[in-house]
Amino acid sequence: MSTIEQSFSDRNDIKLLVLNAIPVATYLVTKAGDILFYNPAAEPYIKRHGAVLKSPQLCSIFKNSLTTIGYVVQIDGIDYLINASSIVHDYLGIITVVTIDDSSVSQLINHHLNNSKAIIDDLQTIFDNSYDVLYVSDGNGITLRASSACEELWGKKPHELIGRSVYDLETEGVYYPSATRIVLERKKKVQIIQKTKTGRQLMVTSTPVFDLSGNVIRVVNASRDITEIQELENEIQNLRDIVAGYQNQLSQLQVAKNAKDGELIYRSKQMEQIIALLGRIAQVDSTVLITGESGVGKEVIANHIHACSSRVDNPFIKVNCAAIPQSLLESELFGYAPGTFTGGQKNGKAGLFELANTGTIFLDEIGDMQLDLQTKILRVLQEREVTRIGSHRSIPLDIRFIVATNQDLTRKVEEGSFRLDLYYRLNVIPINVPPLRERREDVLPIFNHFLHMYIERFHRRSVTLSQEALSIIESYDWPGNVRELKNIVERLMVTTNGTVIDVTDLPINFTRKQSMKLHQEDSKAYHAVEVHELLPLKDATDCVEKQLIELASRNARTLSDIATLLKVNQSTISRKVQKYNMNI
């Protein structure tokens, strides 16, 4: 027995007896790492694993500590809980009493630790591989965790986001809006569309997690990249618009085919010349400006140009600039990008210019267009490209422009309500369609054309005109031009029963105006004004003045022409046109 052991056993034999009685494996280690004593329970460990148990690492933990330390050591794949208490011995200095616990408690703890680690690993795997990109923040909006795919969406790696405030990241535009911020404000689950700095669009579902007092302690975001879905939806919407455009075209063609409506009927020299010109115009892409009174057939002519051109199989889009409220006209023509208007289509909308691409666009009543929109149209004409409202992407256009108006554009230019530069751009090939009263030879062929059309449409027996009715119709002035003629025929087909249309069948105002005109022509009583009831003199004056200006405007191109016809100054006419709010 060594001196150390001797002295220890001398002084501590009682304690050693106690030690031997302890059922848990226990041994003593000196500061130098020598195993001094072990009880029977510790014997197998010391014999098999002495080297491990007195390993320098183990001792280094204990030697400077006088407190009890718990430590797990793995021996042959089994975990042991080791408790070490260091004491100061009178003669030996610091010695450490070590107990080895291989009981089920430590095994259990270990088992749970291993389980927890496995769960954490699984969660991390799920976190990183989830279809949605996950992003977790605490109740103050500080980012705690983000799945590794976050770099693709927000252009930042997880470690660049973790620890950062969602408020700051939102301000920097890494994403906008921050779903976490909204959840923290509203304290409930939200679903939003988010835009990111990298140009992606995300659908973010953000869910708050509450503690027992109702405070938000976590916000969990699941973000899904919908950029491509969004693009596809836009594409589908564009295609839908185009299909709707074609359907519109088709139904128009259908009507024309069945009812033979829209056919161009003429006999007059003037119209013959125009039709000959149309044949040549159709072969080129130059802009055409069609002028003429309302109802003379400007739209029929525009149809004819498109139908004879090489663009016939491509879209023909008609826009009545006066029928669409000016506030909507711009978005109708130019379309808009997604999110431009509250209540607008969520994917944006293709404008009529886009829909007309490769074909023809017919801008009817261009004279009614407001000045600011005229500027934008001029740009489209010059640059041959269009940009949707709210977008920066310009779309090249291959379009043939046909425009029409029943207004005197030169006069509008003079008055400052029509841009001169736009007028020049439009007036490349001008076509003026004369009113029906200036080409009376066309009246009867057109009348007969509509007569046959309505006989077929209404399944009527054949109907003819009496000689007297025919001469009234031929000599009537047709202020509403071909449209009025067409309407009268339709009306006659509905109101007459017999097979002959007589004067008595003609509308009363029609024959009265006509007889007045004949009477005026016969008696040269141009200044006769018939009054049938009493009315205030001022009202009567206003009414007559208005009618006279209207009448004169049919035969005059400018305000000064009207003034000459009515034998007053031009300024008088301008004043009265303004006073009666007349559209001349």
Ligand X SMILES: Nc1ncnc2c1ncn2[C@@H]1O[C@H](COP(=O)(O)OP(=O)(O)OP(=O)(O)O)[C@@H](O)[C@H]1O
| Contact set with ligand X (CB under 6 A) | 261-266, 292, 294-300, 364, 404, 406, 446, 449, 482-483, 486
| Cα separations in angstroms, 38 against 21, 22, 27, 45, 208 | 11, 11, 4, 10, 58
At CB < 8 A and 24+ separation, what contacts does 73-79 make?
75/45, 75/49, 78/102, 79/106, 79/107, 79/110
Single out the residue of 217, 404, 421, 209 nearest to residue 306, CA to CA: 404
CB 154 within 8 Å of CB 198 = yes
Write down the least CB distance from residue 293 to ligand X, Å. 7
Write down the least CB distance from residue 154 to ligand X, Å. 55
Single out the residue of 134, 224, 148 nearest to residue 180, CA to CA: 134
CB 411 within 8 Å of CB 362 = no
Return the number of the residue (96 or 406) whose C-beta is nearest ligand X.
406
Percent of the chain as helix, strand, coil, to the nearest 5: 50, 20, 30
Write down the least CB distance from residue 423 to ligand X, Å. 18
User: Cis before residue 435, ω within 30 degrees of 0?
Assistant: no
Write down the least CB distance from residue 580 to ligand X, Å. 21
DSSP codes joined into one string, 284-349: S---EEEE-STTSSHHHHHHHHHHHSTTTTS-EEEEETTTS-HHHHHHHHHEE-TTSSTTS-TT-E
Give CA–CA dist 39/15, Å, rounded.
Answer: 11
Return the number of the residue (442 or 505) whose C-beta is nearest ligand X.
442
Write down the least CB distance from residue 296 to ligand X, Å. 4
Write down the least CB distance from residue 445 to ligand X, Å. 8
Return the number of the residue (323 or 525) whose C-beta is nearest ligand X.
323
Write down the least CB distance from residue 153 to ligand X, Å. 53
Nearest residue to the partner ligand X, using Cβ: 297
- For 536, what's the count of Cα atoms within 13 Å in the CB-facing half-sphere? 3
Write down the least CB distance from residue 425 to ligand X, Å. 21
Write down the least CB distance from residue 412 to ligand X, Å. 15
At CB < 8 A and 24+ separation, what contacts does 489-497 make?
489/447, 489/450, 489/451, 489/454, 490/450, 490/454, 492/463, 493/451, 493/454, 493/455, 493/458, 493/460, 493/463, 494/458, 496/463
CB 309 within 8 Å of CB 401 = no
DSSP label at 143?
E
Return the number of the residue (25 or 296) whose C-beta is nearest ligand X.
296
Return the number of the residue (141 or 367) whose C-beta is nearest ligand X.
367
Return the number of the residue (37 or 418) whose C-beta is nearest ligand X.
418
Single out the residue of 23, 11, 27 nearest to residue 96, CA to CA: 27
CB 143 within 8 Å of CB 122 = no
Contacts of 307 (CB under 8 A, 6+ apart): none
Tokens of 22: 């302890």
Return the number of the residue (263 or 385) whose C-beta is nearest ligand X.
263
Give CA–CA dist 142/218, Å, rounded.
Answer: 9
Write down the least CB distance from residue 266 to ligand X, Å. 5
Return the number of the residue (46 or 271) whose C-beta is nearest ligand X.
271
| Cα separations in angstroms, 212 against 215, 216, 220, 548 | 7, 10, 18, 86
Give CA–CA dist 555/562, Å, rounded.
Answer: 8
Q: Given the DSSP bridges, would you call strands 335-336 and 349-350 parallel, antiparallel or unpaired?
A: antiparallel
Write down the least CB distance from residue 271 to ligand X, Å. 7
Write down the least CB distance from residue 452 to ligand X, Å. 12
Give CA–CA dist 373/444, Å, rounded.
Answer: 41
Return the number of the residue (477 or 542) whose C-beta is nearest ligand X.
477
Write down the least CB distance from residue 178 to ligand X, Å. 53
DSSP codes joined into one string, 7-45: HHHHHHHHHHHHHHH-SSEEEEEETTS-EEEE-GGGHHH
